[in-house]
Chains A and B, each alone.
Chain A
Amino acid sequence: MKTESKLMRYLVPSVLILIGAGFIVYGATDGEAAAVIKKAIAICMECIGLG
């Protein structure tokens, strides 16, 4: 039976979470979060089908 070792079971997602956290910090400091909020606080006419 193929079973995952404990190390692999928890190591891979933990590394992914750490990389993800790094990406968020890098993106936020690079102005990406500002781009998101700029778009999100106005009614997105394209999204609601008004072009």
Chain B
Amino acid sequence: MKKIILWLFGLDEAALADPATLAGVIASFVMIAAVLVMFAVLLAKKRLRIHRWGNKVWQRTKLLIQSGFFILTNSFMVGWFKGTIYQGKLKFMCVPGMNCYSCPGAWGACPIGAMQAIFDEFDAKKSWFDPVSGTYVQAPLYWIAFYVIGILMIIGALCGRLVCGLLCPFGWVQDLIYKIPVKKLKLPREPRLIEKTKNPRATRFLLGLDKYARLLKYAFLIVMAVFLPLMVKANPWFCKYICPSGMLLGGIPLMSMNAGLAAAAGKLTLQKILILAFIVILSLFIYRPFCRYICPLGAIYSFFNKFSLYKYGIDDSKCNRCKGCSACANSCPMGVDPVKDPNSPECIRCGTCNAKCPQKAIHAGFRTKTPEGSAIRTRKSK
């Protein structure tokens, strides 16, 4: 048993003699057990049946799931106590969300960081001369990160962007910030509501801006997370120059606990702190700005929304859209209209529309028919 624990925690026997390490090991077990009990209670109470409980309870349940998953994946308490990171064997696995592997508590690797780490490996036998820089460029050892793409394909095919809605730690942080009561920038989607705003022209402009800015995350994926790490070596470009999650979950905790690391802070640290601060401030007014405009992981999962096993669907026999109801579209924090496209690439499957629908016409899950036998439409409406 002791050997298994030591293997699991990546520690040797002598390390347990240190009281902080021992306390960290015990605390990890306690936290994981507490979260598992919490999930068991949620399942026993059938709290995942969104319809049954309404939006208020669902938002609380959602927060519990997000917090629980954050604790599960970041409960290496030795790291939190000692200002180090987990170095055990489990770290070859990728977690589903944007979770920096340099977070003191992280048990697994961030998929975007892992992908860049694979692209960063070079083939020692091959190199070519680059006339622009005047140097020899080393050829990538792996042109496709099969391992990480395989993991993302499985997670995406199972649940798509449900990961963003419920399992991503940085999404959870943005959700918490958005709960701070300040005036939110929420744009109406319906033409009649747009016309009712103070300045319909400005609203339409912002809606257009939002629509096109969402494409930026695909650019970040292609350029910063794939092209530059493949072609210009020695840098995980997205992690180094953009990722605010790494700064929040890894940089700030490690630097606050480790004087040596804090002393090494410089221009890049300031740049990343400014990006993080910008995202935090934006999150006060806009729901999940990082997920909307920047996240390359969300961009990857968005391709799977239409092909995943877990899907959203509409029971058109119950839906009241034809009678002027737009409760789902008006409540969606990501600005998606679930009736038009229940599995839009922008939908993070947070369950708000599902909980708000007065007709209980929105279904989330693996079925093709409702329990009453009506067909569930998972495709776009005509």
Contacts and interface: CB of A to CB of B under 8 A. Distances in A.
A20 B155 CA distance: 9
Nearest to B271: A49
Interface string A27-45: 1101111111111111111
Counting chain B CB atoms within 10 Å of each CB, which of A17, A21, A26 scores highest? A17
Contacts of B86: 41
Interface in B3-45: 10
A13 B309 contact: yes
Contacts of A13: 157-158, 307-309
B contact residues, range:
35 or more
B113 interface: yes
Contacts of A3: 368, 375-379
A20 to B, nearest CB: 3
B177 interface: no
Given A4-B368, A24-B147, A46-B239, A40 B378 contact: no
Contacts of A49: 246-247, 251, 265, 268-269, 271-273
Contacts of B250: 43-44, 47-48
Nearest to A51: B268
Given A20-B150, A23-B149, A47-B101, A40 B114 contact: yes
A17 B310 CA distance: 13
Q: Size band of the A side of the interface?
A: 35 or more
22 contacts: A13-B158, A16-B154, A16-B307, A19-B150, A20-B149, A20-B151, A23-B150, A27-B118, A33-B92, A34-B92, A35-B120, A36-B114, A39-B113, A39-B120, A40-B113, A40-B114, A42-B87, A43-B250, A47-B100, A49-B269, A49-B272, A51-B266
Interface of B: 10, 85-89, 91-92, 94, 100-102, 108-109, 113-114, 117-118, 120-121, 142, 145-154, 156-158, 235-236, 239-240, 243, 246-247, 250-251, 254-255, 261, 264-266, 268-269, 271-273, 304, 307-309, 311, 316, 368, 375-382
For the complex of A and B, 3 pairs with smallest distance between CB atoms: A27-B147, A23-B150, A20-B153
Interface of A: 1-4, 6, 9-10, 12-14, 16-17, 19-28, 30-51
Given A23-B150, A26-B146, A43-B250, 19 more contacts: A2-B382, A3-B377, A10-B309, A13-B307, A17-B154, A19-B153, A22-B150, A23-B147, A35-B120, A36-B92, A37-B91, A41-B85, A41-B88, A44-B246, A45-B264, A46-B240, A47-B239, A48-B254, A50-B268
